[in-house]
A and B are shown apart, each in its own frame.
Chain A
Amino acid sequence: MTRYLINRLLISIPTLLAISVVVFAILALAPGDPMAEFATNPAITAEVRENIRRSLGLDQPIYIRYVKWLWAFVRGDMGFSFNSRSPVVNLILQRLPTTLWVVGTAYLLAALLAVPLGVISALKRYTFFDQVVTTLAFVGFSLPTFFTGILFIIIFSVQLRWFPFIYNSTLRVTNWATFMAQVRQSIMPVMVLVLFQAAVLMRFVRASMLEQMNRDYVRTARAKGLRNFVVVNRHILRNALIPVVTLVALDIPTVFTGALVTEQIFRVPGIGALLVDSIYRGDTPVVMAITFIYAILIVIFNLVADILYGILDPRVQYTR
């Protein structure tokens, strides 16, 4: 087991290096630069532009920039943002709480909804309940979040005036009233995400349940005269949830990167909005930092998922 762990961790190093090279190369080769907005401004002459590029370190060749970036990153320095001339790590830390709150809540709610709904609709297959849930799930993952987001704004903000659609990140939660204000402004972005994620997860749980329900061990359990609840809870569910747990583990890194589209629509200042803005404005250090942290989290949670799998399912052996 320990050997396996060490092996996996060692393999992940070249993987991460390869990822960083690819992302860096794409960013360096892609058009778009931090001064793009001033392109038609007569006062931004070639010389001014060159001075700015030099002050941002963009005058050096790509490979030197890459080595510098990598060395700094290894030492924990994620560099300076071109757009705000402040350390990238500050920008990320500033936005992390909001992202974890909004996207994290959404993911938790989605999981809490999806698992029971998926289980019940699998057990009561083809009943009215199943049809309704399946239809809702279908709607949920067919509608893109930018559409449901705007739809929610039109219905709940413009027409009904229930919720604000501008996320106020200066709101400080001190008492019940401000807590409720926080909840009110979070409801729409969270619901948009829940609708989508719960739908995907629900379908997955349902399929996974159905796969187990006709297995021989289930029939044996029933033949032993066990109560239905025990059969479902101890036998079917435990096996059916193995792939679900893996899926959830693999999804956790996405909580960190936030929700790109949803954050933009509701002006939620999360990591996703930061990433989109930085890509638009050619802010390479920020894009690199976020994508690379995401890559690291994915590698880690892949490992976590594999280990969880072994714990949940004793048939899996780690021999490599």
Chain B
Amino acid sequence: MSLKRLKMQLVRLGLLLIPLFMVGGLLVHHWVPAQAQADDTLRLLYWQAPTLLNPHLSTGTKDFEASRLVYEPLASFDAEGEMVPFLAAEIPSIENGGVAEDLSAVTWKLKSGVTWADGEPFTAEDVVFTYEYISNPEVGAITSEYYADIASVEALDPSTVKVTFKEPTVAWFVPFVGTNGMIIPKHVFETYNGPNSREAPANLAPIGTGPYITEDVKPGDVIVYVANENFREEGKPFFKRVELKGGGDATSAARAVLQTGDADYAWNTQVEAAVLAQLEAAGIGRVVAKPGPNMERIVINFSDPNVEKDGQRSHKDVPHPFLTDLNVRKALSLAMDRQTIADQIYGVAGTPTNDYVLSPENIRANAPWEFNLEEAAKLLDEAGWVDSNNNGIRDKDGVEMRMVFQTSVNPVRQKTQEIIKQDLGKIGIDLELRSIDASIFFDSEPNNPDNLGHFYADLQMYTTGNDNPDPTGYMRRYLCEEIAQKENNWANANDSRYCNPTYDAMFAELVRMMDPEERDEQVKKMNNFLTVEDVAVIPLIDRTSPAAAANSLDGIDLTPWDLEPWNIKDWTRKS
């Protein structure tokens, strides 16, 4: 009998395990004083949760965004493309002697009296160290390419720093400016400038010069910031506390701001136009569009994705059977119903465009475009592509006009694909639609045949753009030497396998030009060559990144060249 009892006891014990787990969970679960939710708390919602607070090691835009509340660059660009000083005392120019006459160096004057959040003074040494850290290959900084043209960075005195370039450059404003220019403290990171960079405690407990310091960091969940008492501007920031919550999805993030008021600001609410408009109708929040250089495009494969050569398909020496024909490409561009795609699918988040370079405004060419299926059909007829076997699809010399059109999984993109498939179907071109999970489509693995670098399809669609006001790097994408192939692990940017000596020559001219206005004209010329004359790429949509903000929130001023919280010190709440 007693043995039986014992067994029963054991069973009960087993069942008790579950509540024990729970009570344990509850006890460990925050048993510390409460913080009141108040008007001076700003609640940000990022559907991609930041996981790291060191901008130079970021694994996504989310990390840059979350770091920007703490760190500052020397200067940045506002929406009009004007430079705004942050840690710099003034904007260098040739007139004030900051920029060398021959554009080979730039000298930055730093603000005096600035301290890091821990009280240490901010000096030119910190800028020098930031350069050393970023350019150290063992650190593996994501921002290093922006500093690749620098020959040396030296501190002339504690408040002056001189950046010398390897060659004269018009893009002297790339290093230490904007998104990729955040300055990190030498005294904190000094011992982590090497392979041990990932072990730095400051990667999750940053000490910056910005308006906020972190109070509580839970990677992938929430970051709580409080105002930096050492911040140099009196009376700022307005919000004493910022809670940046991460995770979930874009739609419910928009809902939390626009419909239920659970949050004040939601980042990148890339949601269908109709849904956003419906949420906005609740009247407590608004959609703010972040203008930018990002353009949704259709990339054309100039090589044949169906023929294998030297262990790879889409080999640059195997031309595509019909996409190499200029008339066919012109017909494709004419058959894109950009207006419908913009109105019905993107809404506030996009307008139709045929420009390769969108931003800044002064280098935008505003290339013409039209939607004209008849004209497209005529061009194809002229080029000899007719439906000779009456199967509804054009052909020539036994080659049928069938194409594989791939993009990442995303409702907006799938709907765009559908519209394009319908229109092309009307002029006798058959599209097979393929959608690939974003993490696979955008990855860079040499063994992954489905990513955009391999481009084992005829057409593909995605967004990119120049990430600073100088588009030179972005213009490189269509150079012959940039073709993505097996030899370079498909890591080069010219996934289109486009190679045109005319364009290469124009690029060489651009690089030699030093006069700003002459450069602007050259960029426009190259733009029109790529999208109109040679149709190397088919631009579709000028994308803006919509964010949702509560109506009570004032001071938001989004710029394409910096992160959304770049001016968070000026954000206030209307009563």
Contacts and interface: CB of A to CB of B under 8 A. Distances in A.
B221 A32 contact: no
Contacts of A265: 248, 252
B10 A172 contact: no
B195 A55 contact: yes
B126 to A, nearest CB: 21
A249 B218 contact: no
Interface residues on B, range: 35 or more
Contacts of B248: 166, 264-267
A304 B15 CA distance: 12
Contacts of A96: 25, 28
Interface residues on A, range: 35 or more
Interface in A146-204: 153, 157-158, 161, 164-166, 168-175, 177-178, 182
Interface in A242-273: 245, 248-249, 252, 255, 264-267, 269, 273
A85 interface: yes
Nearest to B198: A85
Contacts of B140: 51-56
B59 A157 contact: no
Contacts of A158: 255, 259-260
B301 interface: no
A100 B25 CA distance: 5
A83 B52 contact: yes
A85 B203 contact: yes
Interface string A121-161: 00000000000000000000000000000000100011001
Given A34-B59, A46-B488, A273-B220, A40 B464 contact: yes
Contact of B222 (A170, A182, A311): A170
Contact of A41 (B249, B260, B467, B476): B467
Contact of B216 (A37, A54, A170, A308): A170
A182 B22 CA distance: 14
Contacts of B445: 31-33
A229 B18 CA distance: 27
A273 B219 CA distance: 12
Contact of B30 (A107, A157, A173): A173
B270 interface: no
Contact of B447 (A31, A35, A37, A161): A31
Nearest to A149: B252
A282 B31 contact: no
Interface string B7-50: 10011001101110110111011111111000000000100010
B245 A281 contact: no
Contacts of B245: 166, 168, 267
A31 B448 contact: yes
B51 A81 contact: yes
B195 A166 contact: no
A12 interface: no
B97 interface: no
B300 interface: no
A129 B450 CA distance: 54
A292 interface: no
Interface in B50-89: 51-52, 54, 57, 59-61
Contacts of A60: none
B238 interface: no
B145 interface: yes
Nearest to A281: B59
A166 B142 contact: no
B243 interface: yes
B24 A55 contact: no
A282 to B, nearest CB: 7
Contacts of A111: 18
Nearest to A46: B491
Given A98-B29, A166-B263, A84 B204 contact: yes
Interface string A50-83: 0111111000000000000000000000001111
Contacts of B200: 85
B422 interface: no
Interface stretch (B227-235, B303-311, B367-375, B436-444): B436-444
Given A49-B444, A269-B218, A172 B137 contact: no
A160 to B, nearest CB: 11
Interface in A16-48: 29, 31-46, 48
B144 interface: yes
B221 A46 contact: no
A304 B19 contact: no
Contacts of A95: 221
Contact of B145 (A43, A100, A101, A282): A43
A91 interface: yes
Contact of B443 (A33, A52, A107, A267): A33
B17 A252 contact: yes
B253 to A, nearest CB: 9
B35 A42 contact: no
A165 B256 contact: yes
Interface pairs A-B: 3 shortest CB-CB:
A55-B140, A100-B25, A269-B221
10 contacts: A36-B442, A37-B442, A43-B467, A46-B489, A84-B204, A172-B35, A273-B220, A281-B59, A311-B10, A312-B7
Interface of A: 29, 31-46, 48-49, 51-56, 80-86, 91, 94-101, 104-105, 107-108, 111, 153, 157-158, 161, 164-166, 168-175, 177-178, 182, 245, 248-249, 252, 255, 264-267, 269, 273-274, 277, 280-282, 304, 308, 311-312
